[in-house]
Chains A and B, each alone.
Chain A
Amino acid sequence: MTLATIWVVVEPSNGSLTTTSLELLTHARTFGATVAAITWGDSGSSLAALCGEYGAATLYDVGALNGALPGVPVAAAIVQLVTSQGAPDAILIPASYDGRDIAGRLSARLDRPVLTNVTGLSDDGGLVTEHPVFGGTQTVKARFTGEGPGIIVVRAKSFAAESAGGSSATVVAAPAGDAGSSAGATITTSHVEERTGPKLEDATVVVSGGRGLGEADKYALIEEVAKLLHGAAGASRAIVDAGWVPYSHQVGQTGKTVKPAVYIACGISGATQHMVGMKGSKNIVAINKDPDAPIFQIADFGIVGDVHKVLPALIAALKARG
């Protein structure tokens, strides 16, 4: 079966698109299919040039959502597109807060299954998805067996984002219409948390802390090392669940996927949950008291030691370099 059409849900972010959206557009065009993008928000049509540059021929614009959470209206708009344009072979959706909402809503509305946590996608007489399981030690390959479109939710950083230099996509209005009784979740106020330094998912250096720090106050050591290395501070699920740091710092299966030049894991034992989010890092440095901690099995450079001694010494050494 030749892939004829692939739709990619592209997520608006500060007047542009999220990096994961561009990664999906880039990968979608490798299948030789016609690629269409679907977006929403106030700046929809201004994204046509960017979508075209990354390979989309058409940009379906759901338009302004007036505060509604995107899940319901965007899924409703896609269902209408399936009716008016015919079903594509697949719909690719970024694994983000809103992307997951859209995928769930769409799956139930179309009565089509969804494959999530996808990190690889290839054409083998039909699309074959790859999913990391058990902390990324094994890869499950899967495919849809029923009628399409298959809904595929792809994790960040699964593919590179590369411009194809294409011309601007043709913008087609795709309003949601009446989304029905499931509409009604509305954003009343947005809060932006202040952040200094690079974003966790974009940083070339990520310094992460875990339970081994012992107490919430010690996370300041992680932040200081990250700052001195011009990097970002991350965290294991354990200390996020414990309330030491916000969820936005979490690296792992349920948090962010990072692939920095170097990942420095401090007091993190290396639960499979965590490993899947960082094992794609170019270099991994681990500091842990326990010489048998699983993190050392994947670390390029390990220090068996107490983070409460090693981190202050590292801070002093980095400061001494100026």
Chain B
Amino acid sequence: MNIVVCVKQIPDPAAPQALDASHNLDRSGKLILDEADTYGVEMALQLVDKAGTGEVTVVSMCSASDVAGLRNALAMGAAKAIVVSDDSLRGTDALGTAKVLAAVIRRVNPDLVLAATESSDGYTGTTPVQVAELLGLPSITFAKSVAIDGSTVKVERQTEAGYDEVAAPLPALVTVTAGVVEPRYASFKGIMAAKNKPLEVLSIADLGLAGETGPTGARQEITDVVAAESRAAGEKHVDDGDGAEKIVSFLESIKVL
């Protein structure tokens, strides 16, 4: 059971966020492994462990100058990382990203590809399915549990009404929601081992994707960024045991009660 997990390094969501002059997200600060990706890494490690054979490869598109987030995935237990790093990637959209990731995954030829449902910076939420389509793989999105049964992947998929049990033949791609598993913390031993694990760096030329990425490949542009209509803060009271009564009065004033 060889599994590829697509991961992304993002600016710390807890820090202030900004767009740069060309309307790209400012990524100049320290980058971290998107927490949403830790669930996929953990799920992959558990599935490989259960299969008793195979390994987990993390694949990412990012600058090779800051890979601390990928080392974190290796420290959790992934065997190796492949990074596509190229100046021409700046401004690449979701489909261009999918083309890059699909080209890398094709080289690894795994049994299963895992990804988060969306990244916690761009939130586009289509890249994994685009990857699946480019690879000609079936996909099951929004998994809240994942199990392998022979050559079939069985998933409990979140729905509006509850959940569906969905099955697909391997190889396949699955996107996992947070909470599908509890991600482990990297151990000291894991962190030390990660320093020596293979981290392969590829360029766009290596993948034969010149012209498909960057702003030209994106075929879309941001025309403007404006301040959204803001809400003003209203009344604020410190609870002196009468907070509940005050809420009831407010609800009466807006005719909810």
Interface residues of A (CB under 8 A from B): 13, 18, 69, 71-72, 75, 95-97, 100-101, 103-105, 107-109, 111-117, 128, 132-134, 136-147, 153, 180-193, 204-205, 229, 237, 240-243, 247-248, 253-254, 261-262, 264, 272-273, 279, 282-285, 287, 291, 296-306, 309-311, 313-314, 316-318, 321
Contact = CB atoms under 8 A, between A and B. Distances in A.
Contacts of A285: 247, 250-251
B106 interface: no
Contacts of A313: 241, 243-245
B226 A139 contact: yes
A284 B139 CA distance: 39
Contacts, number: 278
Interface string B224-235: 111110110111
Given A100-B141, A142-B222, A310-B244, A187 B164 contact: yes
Interface stretch (B51-59, B116-124, B191-199): B116-124
B126 A107 contact: yes
B129 A104 contact: yes
Contacts of A140: 19, 23, 222, 224-225
Given A104-B129, A287-B247, A299-B236, 11 more contacts: A97-B157, A108-B98, A132-B228, A134-B17, A184-B169, A184-B172, A185-B138, A186-B168, A248-B162, A303-B237, A304-B237
A279 B172 CA distance: 38
A103 to B, nearest CB: 6
25 contacts: A13-B160, A69-B139, A97-B160, A107-B130, A108-B129, A113-B95, A113-B218, A113-B220, A116-B123, A138-B19, A138-B226, A141-B224, A141-B225, A147-B219, A182-B137, A190-B161, A240-B179, A247-B142, A247-B158, A254-B118, A285-B251, A287-B247, A301-B247, A309-B239, A314-B244
A286 B130 CA distance: 40
Nearest to A180: B136
Nearest to B23: A140
A188 B244 CA distance: 47
A303 B137 contact: no
B246 interface: yes
Contact of B254 (A142, A182, A254, A261): A261
A300 B237 CA distance: 11
A182 B169 CA distance: 10
A145 B221 CA distance: 7
A139 B136 contact: no
Chain A interface, >50% SS class: mixed
Interface residues of B, number: 79
A142 B221 contact: yes
Contacts of A138: 19, 225-228
B227 A114 contact: no
Contact of B140 (A13, A109, A185): A185
B134 interface: yes
A109 B251 CA distance: 51
Nearest to B177: A247
Contact of A303 (B95, B162, B224, B246): B246
